[in-house]
Amino acid sequence: MELESKMEPETSDESETTVRSATKADIDLLGMYGAELVSIHHGWDARRFIAGGPRTPTAYSSHLRGQLDKPDVLVLVAEIHGKVVGYAYAGLEGSDYMALRGPAGAIYDIFVEESHRRRGAGRALLAAVVGELRERGATQIVLSTAHRNDDGQRLFASMGFEPTMVEMTLQL
């Protein structure tokens, strides 16, 4: 699958974002990005989100490597001038009675390097994931976002996502 999404930059120095399917050559970098995502979440709420460790990049890379060839999974990367600056990981899921929903596309991760945020890469990734999930038959797409992820929530809302659930945690 070759996906192309060119976005106008949100700030001045990013002129082009290309979104494509991830390859095995991308996986080690995506493992590092996944570990950074774990760290960001842990920083927001250390009681709710697991802490990363020295094995997190390797474990995350291994997980994504196993997802690449699955027909109902998407692993996409955003490139700017040929450099991978972010990724998205999503899939098609069947009915989930615990979540009280029917079949849906699910976005598990979306991440952009800090130095490239607010420049269109996240929006390009999200648009590409939504488009590909729609093309594969999804009629609904769900995602979860950390309560403190204000920037992500603004992006998701700007692309038409609406809040539907609130997770609440009790620490014992």
pLDDT in tens, 92-106: 999 999 999 999 999
Give the per-residue pLDDT at 3: 46
| Distance of alpha carbon 74 from alpha carbon 64, whole angstroms | 10
* Residue matched to tokens 């927001």: 44
Sign of CA dihedral 35, 130, 132, 166: positive
Number of domains in the chain: 1
| Distance of alpha carbon 34 from alpha carbon 31, whole angstroms | 5
Give the per-residue pLDDT at 161: 98
In-domain check, residue 126: yes
Start-to-end C-alpha separation, the chain: 46
In-domain check, residue 114: yes
How much is the average pLDDT of 28-45? 97
Please give the distance of CA 4 from its chain centroid, rounded to a whole number: 17
pTM listed for this prediction: 0.89
Residue 113's CATH number: 3.40.630.30
In-domain check, residue 125: yes
In-domain check, residue 92: yes
